[in-house]
Amino acid sequence: METVVPLPAVSLVPVLGCAAAFPVRRIYCVGRNYADHAREMGMDPEREPPFFFGKPQDVVVPGGGPVHYPPATANLHHEVELVVALSKGGRDISVSQALEHVYGYAVGIDLTRRDLQAKAKDKGQPWDTAKGFDESAPIASITPASTCGHLARGAIWLTVNGVEKQRGDLVDMIWSVPEVLAHISGFVALAPGDLIYTGTPAGVGALVRGDRVRCGIEGLGELAITLV
Ligand code: MN
For residue 82, the CA-to-ligand 1 centroid distance in Å is 10
How many CB atoms lie under 10 A from the CB of residue 9?
A: 8
Q: How far apart are CA 69 and CA 207, in angstroms?
A: 9
Give the dihedral sign, CA 112/152/27/45.
negative
Q: How far apart are CA 140 and CA 45, in angstroms?
A: 29
3-class DSSP state of 17: coil
Reported as a single tens digit per residue, the pLDDT across 182-196 is 999 999 999 999 999
Reported as a single tens digit per residue, the pLDDT across 62-109 is 999 999 999 999 999 999 999 999 999 999 999 999 999 999 999 999
The arithmetic mean of pLDDT across residues 44-61, rounded, is 94
For residue 19, the CA-to-ligand 1 centroid distance in Å is 29
For residue 112, the CA-to-ligand 1 centroid distance in Å is 8
Q: What is the mean pLDDT of the chain?
A: 97
* Percent share of the chain, pLDDT over 70: 100
Residues in contact with 79: Cβ distance below 8 Å, sequence separation at least 6, in sequence order: 109, 110, 111, 112, 166, 200, 204
Inform me whether the pLDDT recorded for 48 exceeds 90. Answer: no
Q: Which of 118, 81, 74 is nearest to 206 (CA)?
A: 74
User: What's the pLDDT score for residue 209?
Assistant: 98
For residue 52, the CA-to-ligand 1 centroid distance in Å is 10
Inform me whether the pLDDT recorded for 47 exceeds 90. Answer: no
For residue 3, the CA-to-ligand 1 centroid distance in Å is 35
Q: Which of 82, 221, 83 is nearest to 147 (CA)?
A: 221
* Percent share of the chain, pLDDT over 90: 97
Residues in contact with 122: Cβ distance below 8 Å, sequence separation at least 6, in sequence order: none
Q: Which of 4, 3, 16, 9 is nearest to 147 (CA)?
A: 16
For residue 2, the CA-to-ligand 1 centroid distance in Å is 38
Reported as a single tens digit per residue, the pLDDT across 110-124 is 999 999 999 999 999
For residue 22, the CA-to-ligand 1 centroid distance in Å is 21
For residue 81, the CA-to-ligand 1 centroid distance in Å is 7
For residue 118, the CA-to-ligand 1 centroid distance in Å is 14
For residue 87, the CA-to-ligand 1 centroid distance in Å is 22
For residue 154, the CA-to-ligand 1 centroid distance in Å is 18
Q: Give the single-character DSSP code of 34.
A: B
For residue 109, the CA-to-ligand 1 centroid distance in Å is 8
The arithmetic mean of pLDDT across residues 208-217, rounded, is 98
What the chain holds in terms of domains, given with CATH numbers, is: 12-227 (3.90.850.10)
Residues 135-162: b if buried by 16+ CB within 10 A, e if exposed: bbbbbbbbbbbeebeebeebebbbbbee
Inform me whether the pLDDT recorded for 52 exceeds 90. Answer: yes
Q: How far apart are CA 166 and CA 183, in angstroms?
A: 26
For residue 108, the CA-to-ligand 1 centroid distance in Å is 10
Q: pTM for this structure?
A: 0.98
